[in-house]
Chain A
Amino acid sequence: MLPESHVAEHFANIQVQRQAARLGMWTFLATEILLFGGLFAAYAEYRSLFHEAFLLGARHLDAIMAAVETVVLITGSFAVVMALYYAKSSRAGMARLCLLAAAATGFVFLALHGVEYFHHFKEGALPGKYYSFAELRVTGISLFFALYFLMTGLHSLHVLVGAGVLVWLARRALSGEFSGQHYHPVELGGLYWHLVDLIWIFLFPLLYLV
């Protein structure tokens, strides 16, 4: 029989509750997509206006570093998927390990991004009126860096929150609370983490490659 404590009073059964939680999370993720969507639209607008600046800007950014960051985030996503798998099979130790591994990839990503930001601060490739990088002078380049810092900055903030959520889930997993019946906290936290990965899958080529 179900561990009834996991089902709130107003839900008929755990499947209904799980579906409600899932839909709630996806609705939230839809608003997240639109939050980033505004920035993607701004990117499209300024890229079409300042084509040359965006090409030169992308060439200046460290694409190898970004490719490594992509691999790190994808690895994190894979770890989260495995965490959900182990949570559903009630293997608390493995679930916890995978969640911590995924959170670790988030912190590695942030550290790598910190290195990138450090280089840009040092050379003066900053947004808007703070732009002072003498080697790259072309109209619109400060807009490219404004978008670069806004998009990657907002994304990094999400990585930080996501990694925090994963650590919190790892703590809960240790108590053996998750099982084939009760796993939706891991599923929802995982969905958030995949969204962070998803956004980066688009940021990587748009900012660093093309």
Chain B
Amino acid sequence: MVDASTEAEHGDLSPARYAVIYVCLLILTVATYSLSRLSLGTWSLVIALVIAITKSSLVVLFFMQLWQHRGSVRLALATALIWLLLLTFFVVADVRTRFPLTNPTANPVLDGPVWSPGSPEEPSRQTSTP
């Protein structure tokens, strides 16, 4: 039988280590906010996602203790993430490769109450004029 004290401590981080991870998460939050204020175009989405994935990895590995809990619990998370990636990938791949008229962007009544023909902000919609 495992001794109560060693068993509880096994693989756990010390409060100081948890505090370090907490500070890292705060720094990354400030970083993602500051970087988003720069105009980086498409890169801003990539940077924001990289930071979000880094932050979530810290939470999952250390706060949720997957660093020490191997095996089946990791499998549960991995399964969810793989399904999520498949879902997102194919949904986006679908709308990006369709014949344009089948996309909702080609539908002028989509934003009925808002859309006004003379509005200067109106985006170009060459594909539609039913």
Contact = CB atoms under 8 A, between A and B. Distances in A.
Interface residues of A, number: 68
Nearest to B85: A37
Given A85-B12, A141-B111, A49 B95 contact: yes
Nearest to B46: A210
Contact of B73 (A26, A38, A74): A26
Interface in A47-82: 48-50, 52-53, 63-64, 67, 70-71, 74-75, 77-78, 80-82
B110 to A, nearest CB: 7
Q: What secondary structure prevails in chain B residues at the interface with A?
A: helix
Given A81-B63, A137-B115, A209-B48, A37 B88 contact: yes
B69 A71 contact: no
Interface residues of B, number: 64
B118 to A, nearest CB: 11
Given A33-B77, A33-B84, A41-B88, 20 more contacts: A19-B72, A23-B73, A30-B77, A42-B91, A44-B92, A45-B91, A67-B29, A74-B22, A75-B22, A77-B63, A78-B22, A129-B112, A131-B111, A132-B114, A139-B105, A139-B111, A142-B111, A180-B9, A201-B52, A205-B48
